[in-house]
Structure 1
Amino acid sequence: MPTNRDIENCLLELLSRRAESSSICPSDVARTLAEDEAAWRALMPSVRRVAASLAREGCIVITQGDVTLDPSSIDQGPIRLQRGEKFRISK
């Protein structure tokens, strides 16, 4: 099972490979870290928690459509993750 650090590193790495204005789906992170559908779906709550933590730090921004979401309001519905003002690659 991937750790929060594994999830964070994967999320930041995927974003670093995209244009600065591009976004990723949280499931992109989960699918990268898990081999089958059941495993990546089980990772989704952890991916959202890590994303919320990174958003609180200003490292990423969480959006739903054209709306930027508060990190505490991302438990339901489709969201996208993109680089924030303090984006950095984790080591």
Structure 2
Amino acid sequence: MPYNDNIVQELNVLNLFSLNSTQEGIKVHSSAKPEVIAATQRLYDKGLITQTDGGYLTPLGHDAAEHSQTLLTILNTENRQPIS
């Protein structure tokens, strides 16, 4: 299943969270882009964050954010060895 625009926006929001502390959350203001507000709402509806406008990661959300941020790091790394 390919990524669609909604999933990409959700991944972008997950990447805003710091994984260094469970006490660091985010706040998506009403002046944010509509797609960011919608993505944040969907993450809340999926049980990944604690508030409709951000808040903190739930345990499942922390796992998702960790995977998302790891994937982004992997995809942005340019000096990989080719598979033989």
Q: Shorter-normalised TM-score: what interval?
A: 0.5 to 0.7
Pair member with larger Rg: 2
Code of the residue aligned with 1:10 in structure 2: it is N
Which 4+ residue blocks in structure 1 deviate beyond 2 angstroms?
3-6
Q: Distance in 1 between matches of 2:34 and 2:56?
A: 18
Which structure carries more relative contact order (alpha carbon 8 Å, separation 6+)? 1
SS of residue paired to 2:17: helix
1:84 aligned onto 2:73: no
TM-score, length-normalised on structure 1? 0.50
Q: Distance in 2 between matches of 1:25 and 1:13?
A: 13
Aligned-pair identity in percent equals 20
Unaligned runs of 5+ in 2: 72-84
Q: Output the aligned Cα RMSD.
A: 2.4
TM-score, length-normalised on structure 2? 0.53
Unaligned runs of 5+ in 1: 28-40, 63-70, 72-78
